[in-house]
């Protein structure tokens, strides 16, 4: 998007959305709906898999290691730590509300949660297993054999069943009922004057051009460094790595700002340690605007109202391994 079109989008935002008393339907952001669980047994199985480190070669790393549901579905590290303490190449995005994304990963290379879930298991930098080994492990565990059969109605566990169950669980990880959503639904006392002023700035200065919809982001790819270039040592190319088009260089999926107070540090390289820094960079590089410390603090106050009810997770008890279950190899040469 060019600077002109961003300003245009910001202008549209001003024109249509600056009346804070307007009905919620006029707002550029809509409330998160609670999850509707259609297949509870599949979700429960997916939860077990999400917490099961035996899907990794080391037997030590689960999805929850890098998408910790006690920490906003992220790891709060600049870049994740993977197999054999390897430093990951990019910041781990939250799994909360990830079902609302147009595609998965910073560059959108997986079209949905199912397609995404196969990746980390076999990624040598992350869980460093293979799909064959992960299936062999699960098939050797009687508790899993029985549970997969109950859910999928047949013998023999497949990787498609594993990714399908993981995706079904992830679809339940939505965070409704944030204070901002209460305000959107008509409770005008849910936000303070200062938080509302922050929301007004967020709209009027043009943040909503990219951060909008239910997830306050997640629904488009946009250039990082639209008005002025973003300096980073990180090698990620963004969307260009998927499309091969030079025009897509440094286009990243706009991250959701839901629960953003919990998912520090920020940006694909994790270089912004605080919300204050992230808002400052966004203002200058995406909008050509330097916020005063007070304006910045108002926007941060608004962003903190986007923390919703965190999924109530009852920690699962995993079925034990059997004598013939392949053993973990944490220090394999
Ligand atoms: C070693 C850390 C690590 C582990 C283990 C891990 N992930 Fe991730 N995950 C990441 C990182 C880093 C990314 C971003 C990668 C990218 O965009 O290139 C990511 C991206 C994702 C995304 C995309 C979110 C978005 O907004 O684009 C989802 C969903 C996800 N992981 C789910 C899972 C599941 C399910 C598992 C377990 C099977 C898992 N992850 C295991 C680090 C990890
Ligand atoms: C032109 C589109 C665009 C505009 C306008 C924009 N952003 Fe962003 N925003 C992005 C993109 C793309 C990223 C991810 C950049 C990256 O990681 O390299 C992002 C990242 C963020 C993050 C970090 C989230 C995370 O989890 O890492 C915050 C916070 C944020 N934006 C807030 C704002 C605020 C506040 C404004 C207005 C001052 C704003 N953005 C304006 C596109 C935009």
| pLDDT tens by residue, the chain, 333 residues | 444 455 444 444 443 444 444 445 689 999 999 999 999 999 999 999 999 999 999 999 999 999 999 999 999 999 999 998 999 999 999 999 999 999 999 999 999 999 999 999 999 899 989 999 999 999 999 999 999 999 999 999 999 999 999 999 999 999 999 999 999 999 999 999 999 999 999 999 999 999 999 999 999 999 999 999 999 999 999 999 999 999 999 999 999 999 999 999 999 999 999 999 999 999 999 999 999 999 999 999 999 999 999 999 999 999 999 999 999 998 876
Do residues 6 and 287 lie in contact, with contact meaning Cβ atoms separated by under 8 Å?
yes
Domains in the chain with CATH codes: 3-30+181-306 (1.10.760.10), 40-170 (1.10.760.10)
Nearest to 63 by CA among 98, 18, 36, 37: 98
Rounded Cα distance between 88 and 235, Å, is: 12
Hey, which of 62, 95, 127 would you mutate to test ligand 1's pocket, going by the most ligand atoms within 8 Å of its Cβ?
95
Q: Taking the complete model, does pTM exceed 0.85, yes or no?
A: yes
The per-residue pLDDT for range 1-59, each reduced to its tens digit, is: 444 455 444 444 443 444 444 445 689 999 999 999 999 999 999 999 999 999 999 99
What is the 92 CA–ligand 2 centroid distance (Å)? 16
In a 13 Å sphere around the CA of 20, the CA atoms on its Cβ side amount to 18
Residue 287 CB–ligand 2 contact under 6 Å:
yes
Looking at ligand 1, which atom is closest to the CA of residue 117? 35
The per-residue pLDDT for range 97-108, each reduced to its tens digit, is: 999 999 999 999
Residue 92 CB–ligand 1 contact under 6 Å:
yes
Do residues 112 and 274 lie in contact, with contact meaning Cβ atoms separated by under 8 Å?
no
């Amino acid at each position: 998007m060019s600077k002109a079109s961003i300003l245009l989008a910001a202008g549209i935002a001003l024109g249509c959305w600056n009346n804070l008393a307007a009905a919620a339907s006029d707002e550029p952001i809509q409330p998160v709906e609670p999850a509707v669980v259609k297949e509870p047994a599949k979700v429960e199985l997916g939860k077990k898999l999400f917490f099961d480190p035996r899907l990794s070669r080391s037997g030590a790393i689960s999805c929850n290691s890098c998408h910790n549901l006690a920490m906003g579905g992220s790891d709060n590290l600049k870049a994740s730590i993977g197999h054999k303490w390897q430093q990951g190449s990019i910041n781990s995005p939250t799994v909360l509300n990830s079902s609302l994304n147009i595609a998965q990963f910073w560059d959108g290379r997986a079209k949905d949660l199912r397609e995404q879930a196969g990746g980390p298991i076999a990624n040598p930098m992350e869980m460093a297993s293979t799909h064959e080994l992960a299936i062999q492990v699960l098939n050797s565990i009687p508790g899993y054999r029985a549970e997969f059969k109950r859910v999928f109605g047949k013998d023999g566990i497949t990787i498609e069943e594993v990714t399908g169950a993981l995706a079904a669980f992830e679809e339940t990880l939505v965070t409704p009922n944030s204070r901002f959503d209460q305000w959107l639904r008509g409770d005008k006392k849910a936000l303070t004057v200062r938080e509302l002023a922050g929301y007004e700035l967020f709209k009027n200065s043009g943040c909503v051009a990219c951060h909008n919809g239910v997830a306050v982001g997640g629904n488009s790819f946009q250039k990082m460094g639209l008005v002025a270039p973003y300096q980073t040592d990180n090698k990620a190319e963004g969307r260009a790595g998927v499309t091969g088009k030079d025009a897509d260089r440094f286009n990243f999926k706009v991250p959701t700002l839901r629960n953003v107070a919990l998912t520090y540090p920020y940006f694909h390289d994790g270089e912004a340690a605080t919300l204050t820094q992230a808002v400052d960079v966004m203002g200058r590089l995406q909008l050509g605007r330097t916020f005063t410390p007070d304006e910045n603090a108002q926007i941060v106050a608004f962003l903190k109202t986007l923390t919703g009810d965190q999924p109530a997770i009852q920690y699962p008890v995993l079925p034990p391994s059997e004598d013939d279950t392949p053993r973990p190899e944490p220090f394999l040469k």
